[in-house]
Structure 1
Amino acid sequence: MSEKEITEQPSYEMLISIFHTALHEIGVPVNGVVTAATFLKREIESGDREFVQELLQMIFSAANNLNDIFERVREVIRQENQQNFQIMETHFDFRKWLDNVLLSISALFMDKAISVVKQVTKDFPLLIYADKVYLTQIVYNLLMNALKYSAAGTVVSVTCSVGTDTFSIEIADQGAGISAAELPLIFQEYRQLSNGFKSQLGGIGLGLSIVKNLTEAMGGVITVKSEVGAGSTFTVTLPLRSGPA
């Protein structure tokens, strides 16, 4: 291998960072596929044709999102620069996109008997201009965080609203909540809450760090309100634009 080829190779630290992030990001839709497939096998045997069709749609939605994330990760690796997020904005139907995201991981919430309630305000535009793949990753990670720290039988709400020049996605749970001491630290990489849910549910503490990085790369901000024992509310606010600047 020539000296030029050696110097062009990504560093070990960069490869490890890419690997950990990619592993975390593809894990959500993969788990959605596996869980829905498990339900599907059982329902095929029981003969509930309507639920079988719903499960097939869950698998199809999760697989499509998995492919989108995989293609973006592959592009990042090709560019060998995972720190500079490449924004790829398009116009898309927000409500259809949100329905697809929720459907693709609904089996995970079903498996834990947690309900997901969605609300999109009437004045929310039909089409938005944003990076759909990164927005999917943001919502995936916030929903999985809610799932991770919520008990069976509780509710997770997804509320989408629009301002003068911004739109917001709020995800609230009725879970364990976050102490005031830990709240400033939750967006650090590999950080997990020091409560009993950690050992029960695992994870490597990348989700909220990824959410913060992607939100800021898209020109937005993320805020959180939480109280121990009363759940958490994460709000992502992003620019509302009609097209390229």
Structure 2
Amino acid sequence: MSAPLSNKGTLYLVPTPLDFGMALEAAPAETWLPRETLAVASGLTHWITENAKSTRAFLKRVEATVGIAAPVQGQHITELPRAAHKKGDHTPHAEGDTQSRELLAPALHGNDIGLVSEAGMPAIADPGSAVVRAAHALGLKVVPLTGPVSLMLALSASGLNGQSFAFVGYVPQEATERGKRLRDLEALALKTGQTQILIETPYRNTALLQALLHTLHPHTRLAVCCAMSLPQQVSRSALVSEWKRSPGIANDLPLDTPAVFLFGR
């Protein structure tokens, strides 16, 4: 492993507001991000990103709040490889490591770099972990900044076990495979007390909720947390039997927004 050198840049993990892609009037960036995070973001001119378009939109919001070091069109914005979007980049492999090191080349010449995803904290439920690994291998300082993380916001609002939990990502879309996966996760949750956390693409949220209600045991607790940190955020937590007995529990859930699903005992 390379030894850190003072003339190398820093990799900053920059969280972004959770409203990307939603039909909302963009609020000032300081609505969701601390001034200290905005101050760092405003000084950066090199970015590694999940989506260049959303990063430019984010920078415009930073510019409107605290200004930026270079015009948006003059910022150096590089997208992560497409494979990182489709398959994730959490499993080390030679090609991904090489690509990540190449993305970090400006930091070896003293430039600080910001890593961002479309919304929330990069490298959590989003790509970016390969870049973080490469930064450590290159001896770069890695600094996560403070901002919204939907998984943790949902966990705190769920009433479920926050001492032991696992984020399991997406479950299969095919009904039989999805049912088996949910039953396996529920068995683990009921045996160990470990809260299971999963997500879905917004247009499939309703189908996932129905699958959960159909598959989980009546005494399992299910929480659904939508649009976390946003004006229309709603969290509901109840036993599956209560969800079924009172369908109104789900009626006011904005399931067309990003949602986090949690279950356990």
TM range, smaller chain: under 0.3
Q: If the length of structure 1 is used for normalisation, what is the TM-score?
A: 0.23
Larger Rg: 2
With the length of structure 2 as denominator, give the TM-score of the two structures. Answer: 0.22
The structure whose RCO (Cα within 8 Å, separation 6+) is larger is 2
